[in-house]
Every structure is written in C-alpha cells, then in structure tokens.
A and B are shown apart, each in its own frame.
Chain A
C-alpha cells in the first residue's frame, strides 16, 4: 500500500502515514479553510489501511501545537475510527505529544482520553 504524505502549509499539518512501519504522524497547526475536505484523504487512506493489516501494532503520533474547533471535531472522528478498530482486535497506540509550555494541549489530550474507552492515548511531553 502506498504511503500517505501531505506536506505542511500555513494552516494545515504535515501528515505521514507509513504502511510498512505502521507509523502515522500528524504534526503542526490545523485550521484549514475546509476542514472535512482537507482530512477526507486521511480517512480514505486509513479505511483502506485497516483492511490490509492484521496483528501489527500501529503507532499514531499526534503533535498539534494548535488546532481550531472544527479540527477538534475531525480529531474526535479520527479517534472514534481508531477505537472501532481496537474493538475489532487491532493494536493501536496513540501518542499525544505536547510541549509543557502549552497548557491547553495537555488539557485537550486529557479530554480525548476521557472520551475514549478502549483506545489507549499516552500523553507524551516533548
């Protein structure tokens, strides 16, 4: 399966999904003009990817220094999708990377943790 590589822009994060190392990374700032349009390829890629993998362990690294409220909804959708896959037996770990100076980033990470039951989210200080 082809990797997904989206370079960062002023308003969108860099996204690297590697199907051979099973590492997915979203890094930067997120306030796209059209949030659902921007993230659509990410969801399409993931849907295809989860069909192809079996018991490999998947690591998702999210390092967003800033995201707006519509990106926050997309992240919720993303975590819901990952959680469904965990419930289907997939091994997925999410690392929520944050800068300790950025208090809100910690708080948002904790909020996501509380909202998800079976998906493991680790808060990782950079």
Chain B
C-alpha cells in the first residue's frame, strides 16, 4: 500500500494535480478543501476573472457528489440516503488551464437521467445555455427541487471547453460516473 501511495503521488505529479480528495464527502470537506483551492489560486496569482469560475465549478461538482452519490463502501447501498457518499475530485493546472475531474458512484437509473441532461446541455450554444439556465432557475425556485440541473448548467457556463463524461461499469446496479471540466 505504501508503495502504491508513492505511485499515486508520482502519477498526480505527472498529471500536474495539485489537489485531490478521495473519501466520504460532506459540506465540511467541501469547505476545507475549497479553502485549500482558494489559497492555491491566491498564491499563484490566478487572474481574478477566472478565480471564481474555478471555485464555482469545484463547488458545484462537489455538491453534486454530496447530493447524488452513493455510499458504496458501506455494507448496504443506500441511494440518496447516505450521509456521506463516496467521491473523488482532483484539480490540476497545465499551461494556465485548470482541469477539475470528479468521480462518484451512481445507480443505473440515475445514470440514464444524468446522461440525458448532460447531452441535452452539451448540444446548446452559449446563448441557449444562458436562457436555459434562467428558465430552469425560474422553474426550480418554485419547485424546491434539489437542482442538479442548474448545477450542471452552472458548470458548463464557466468552462472553456466542452465537458467530458463517462460511465464505467461496476456491477449490474452501479456505475462510476466521471466528469471533466476545463476552465
């Protein structure tokens, strides 16, 4: 295991990953790792225009894990009831481009909805996305929904490249969902 940790660390260094969290997620973890991210951005004098774009994508991705992730390290699988869903999130920087990757476990059922929403937003141009955001916000503010839809649009509004995503097979019930956002 110790040898493997060295291997992981080397791998992260190679990929220019300066922040990685893997484990049970919660709002507390979001706040503390989010603060580390902010410090890094401040110390590296990141353009103020991009500072909150990067932070915002980090928050939305992390919140999505907290809201929709599944705790697969527990004895039983408790969808959406799990207090601390498992998630992994990394932030890297290369040639002044920040890449945030997030991964978490979802049910097959969730993956269908998720794929549909992401593909729908990915097909839109910036103006359509902006209008869709406003429409969705009006809708959801009346419904008091958990609002992953809005979070995803928020992420897309702040990225400089189309987001990439994938679902990896775990077993007949669960998939590993990963998303990559570049700012």
Contact = CB atoms under 8 A, between A and B. Distances in A.
12 contacts: A10-B31, A31-B59, A31-B63, A66-B52, A66-B55, A69-B150, A69-B153, A70-B147, A77-B141, A102-B48, A102-B49, A104-B158
B63 A68 contact: yes
A124 B177 CA distance: 41
Interface string B103-127: 0000000000000000000000000
Interface in B40-64: 48-49, 52-53, 55-56, 59-60, 63
A99 B158 CA distance: 17
Interface string A99-126: 1011111010001001100000000000
A22 interface: no
Interface in A50-69: 65-66, 68-69
A115 B138 contact: yes
Nearest to A31: B59
Interface residues of A, number: 26
B24 interface: no
A11 B55 contact: no
A76 B138 contact: yes
B140 interface: yes
Given A33-B27, A68-B60, A73 B150 contact: yes
Interface in A36-85: 36, 65-66, 68-70, 72-74, 76-77, 80
A68 B59 CA distance: 7
Interface of B: 27, 31, 35, 48-49, 52-53, 55-56, 59-60, 63, 130, 133-134, 137-138, 140-141, 144, 147, 150-151, 153-154, 157-158
A65 B158 CA distance: 15
Given A72-B137, A80-B141, A104 B151 contact: no
Interface in A1-46: 10-11, 31, 33, 36
B39 to A, nearest CB: 13
Contacts of B134: 111, 114-115
Nearest to B64: A69
B30 to A, nearest CB: 8
